[in-house]
Amino acid sequence: MTERLDNHHNVPPTLSAQYQPGEVEQRRYEQWVAAGHFRASADSDKPPYTIVIPPPNVTGSLHMGHALDHTVQDALIRRKRMQGFEALWQPGMDHAGIATQNVVERQLAAQGLSRHDLGREKFVERVWEWKAESGGRILGQMRRLGDSVDWDRERFTMDEGLSRAVQTIFKKLYDDGLIYRAERIINWCPRCLTALSDIEVEHTDDDGELISIRYSDDVVVATTRAETMLGDTAVAVHPDDERYRHLIGTEVELPLTGRRIPIVGDEHVDPSFGTGMVKVTPAHDPNDFEIGQRHGLPSLTIMDERGIITAPGPFEGLDRYEARPAIVAALREQGRIVAEKRPYVHAVGHCSRCRTTVEPRLSLQWFVNTGPLAKAAGDAVRDGRVRVEPADMTKRYFAWVDNMHDWCISRQLWWGHRIPVWYGPDGETVCVGPGEQPPTGPGWHQDPDVLDTWFSSGLWPFSTLGWPEQTADLAKFYPTSVLVTGYDILFFWVARMMMFGLYAMDGRAPFDTIVLHGLVRDQFGKKMSKSRGNVVDPLDWIDRFGADATRFTLARGANPGQDVPVSEDWVQGSRNFCNKLWNATRFALMNGAHVNGVLPEVTQLSTVDRWILSRLQHVIAEVDEQFEAYEFAKVCDILFHFAWDDVCDWYVELSKPVLAGGGEPAAVTRRVLGHVLDQLLRLLHPVIPFVTDELWSALTSGSAADGESTVMIAAWPAAEPALIDDPAEEEVVALQRVVTEIRRFRSDQGLRPAQRVAARLDGLTDAGIAAHDSLIRSLVRLDEAGAEFQASATLAVPGGVTVALDTRGSIDVAAERARLTKDLAAAEKEVAQARAKLDNPAFVGKAPEAVVNKIKDRLTVAEADIARITTALEALPS
Residue range 132-144, pLDDT digits in tens: 998 889 999 999 9
Q: Write out the residue limits of the CATH 1.10.730.10 domain(s) in the chain.
A: 547-724
Task: Provide mean pLDDT across the span 366-377.
Answer: 96
Q: CB within 8 A of 503, min separation 6: which ones? A: 169, 172, 173, 373, 376
Q: Quickly state the pLDDT bin for 670 (edges 50, 70, 90).
A: very high
The pLDDT value given to residue 747: 81
d(CA 803, CA 797): 8
Weakest mean pLDDT among 69-83, 188-202, 626-640, 851-865:
188-202
Q: What is the mean pLDDT of residues 263-288?
A: 92
Of 405, 441, 437, the closest CA to residue 420 belongs to 437
Strand-pairing partners, residue 359, are 188
State yes or no: pLDDT of 4 exceeds 70: no
User: Could you report the per-residue pLDDT of 452-510, keeping only the tens digit for each?
Assistant: 999 999 999 999 999 999 999 999 999 999 999 988 877 778 999 999 999 999 999 99
Q: How far is CA 523 from CA 87, 258, 496, 553, 593, in A?
A: 35, 60, 33, 12, 40
- Cα radius of gyration rounded to whole Å, the chain: 36
Check pLDDT > 80 for residue 652: yes
The pLDDT value recorded for residue 875 is 62
Secondary structure string (H, E, C) spanning 111-173: CCCCHHHHCHHHHHHHHHHHHHHCCCHHHHHHHHHCCCCCHHHCEECCCHHHHHHHHHHHHHH
The β-bridge partners of 660 are: none
Task: From 58, 214, 108, 65, select the one nearest 517 (Cα to Cα).
Answer: 65
Give the whole-angstrom CA distance, residue 870 versus residue 773.
25
Yes or no: say if 142 and 62 are a contact pair by the CB < 8 Å rule: yes
Report the DSSP beta bridge partners of residue 517. Answer: 486
Report pLDDT digits (tens) over 291-309.
Answer: 999 999 999 999 998 999 9
Q: Is pLDDT at 604 greater than 90 in this prediction?
A: yes
8 Å CB contact between 499 and 373: yes
Angle between helix 813-838 and 726-749 (nearest 10): 130
Residues 6 or more apart in contact with residue 112 via CB below 8 angstroms: none
Three-state DSSP at 787 gives coil
Q: Contacts by 829-835 with C-beta closer than 8 Å and gap 24+?
A: 830/858, 830/859, 830/862, 830/865, 831/859, 831/862, 831/863, 831/866, 834/858, 834/859, 834/862, 835/859
Say if residues 63 and 24 touch (Cβ distance below 8 Å).
no
742 and 709 Cβ atoms separated by less than 8 Å: no
Point out the annotated binding site.
530
Assess contact for 556 and 574: CB atoms under 8 A: yes
Task: Check if the beta carbon of residue 277 is closer than 8 Å to that of residue 294.
Answer: no
Q: What is the pLDDT confidence band of residue 37, given thresholds at 50, 70 and 90?
A: very high
Burial 444-455 (b: 16+ CB within 10 A, else e): eeebebbbbbbb
* pLDDT, mean of residues 806-823: 80
HEC-encoded secondary structure of 719-763: CCHHHCCHHHHHHHHHHHHHHHHHHHHHHHHCCCCCCCEEEEEEC
Residue 744 has pLDDT above 90, yes or no: no
For residues 116-125, give the mean pLDDT. 95
| Mean pLDDT, rounded, for 725-734 | 96
Q: Which of 616, 524, 521 is nearest to 559 (CA)?
A: 521
What does 675-716 look like in DSSP terms, one character per residue? HHHHHHHHHHTTTSHHHHHHHHHHHTTTS-STT-S-GGGSPP
Identify the CA nearest to 95 among candidates 415, 541, 512, 462.
415
Separation CA 387–CA 384 (nearest Å): 6
Going by C-alpha positions, the residue among 820, 788, 821, 794 that lies closest to residue 877 is 794
Arithmetic mean of pLDDT, 184-196:
86
Q: How confident is the model at residue 807 (pLDDT cuts 50, 70, 90)?
A: confident
Residue 98 pLDDT > 70, yes or no? yes
pLDDT exceeding 70 applies to what percent of the chain? 96
> Among 151-155, 213-217, 738-742, 784-788, whose mean pLDDT is lowest?
784-788
Q: Average the pLDDT over 30-57 and give the result.
A: 96
- Residue 511, Cβ neighbours under 10 Å: how many? 24
Beta sheet of 194-196, edge-to-edge order: 194-196, 179-189, 359-368, 407-408
pLDDT band at 3 (very low <50, low <70, confident <90, very high): very low
Q: Is the pLDDT of residue 527 over 70?
A: yes
Q: How far is Cα of residue 752 from the mean position of the Cα atoms in its chain?
A: 46
DSSP, residue by residue, 175-192? HTT-EEEEEEEEEEETTT
Q: C-alpha dihedral over 383, 385, 391, 392, to 10 degrees?
A: -50
Question: Which CATH number is 547-724 given?
Answer: 1.10.730.10
What is the pLDDT averaged over residues 312-328? 93
Q: What is the DSSP letter of 560?
A: T
What pLDDT, on a 0 to 100 scale, did the predictor assign at position 520?
Answer: 85
What's 388's DSSP letter?
E
12 pLDDT more than 70: no
- Give bridge partners of residue 344 from the DSSP assignment: 208
Higher per-residue pLDDT: 452 or 842: 452
Average pLDDT in the chain: 91
Binding residues for ATP: 530
* CB contact at 8 A, 180 and 370: no
**Residue 173: CA count within 13 A, CB half-sphere:** 30
- pLDDT higher than 50, residue 27: yes
Report, as an integer, the average pLDDT of 825-848.
90
Residue type, 645: D
Please give the pLDDT value at position 475: 97
Average pLDDT over every residue of 782-788: 89
pLDDT at residue 702 tops 50:
no
pLDDT at 703: 46
Q: From CA 790, how far away is CA 88, in angstroms rounded?
A: 69
Closest CA to 386 of 479, 487, 506: 479
Residues of the chain with CATH 3.90.740.10: 194-360
Nearest to 413 by CA among 192, 202, 197: 192
DSSP codes, 424-462: -TTS-EEE--TTPPPP-STT-EE---EE-HHHHHTTHHH
Mean pLDDT confidence for 72-82? 98
pLDDT score of 493: 87
Identify the CATH homologous superfamily for domain 194-360.
Valyl/Leucyl/Isoleucyl-tRNA synthetase, editing domain (3.90.740.10)
- Backbone phi and psi for residue 847, each to the nearest 5 degrees, phi listed first: -70, 145
Q: How far apart are CA 377 and CA 509, in angstroms?
A: 8
Residues 6+ away with beta carbon under 8 Å from 82? 682, 685, 686, 712, 713, 714, 715, 716
pLDDT-above-90 percentage for the chain: 73
pLDDT given for residue 630 in this prediction: 95
Determine the pLDDT at residue 486: 87
CA angle 38, 41, 42 (to 5 degrees): 150
Q: Cα-Cα-Cα-Cα dihedral of 506, 512, 518, 519, to 10°?
A: -50
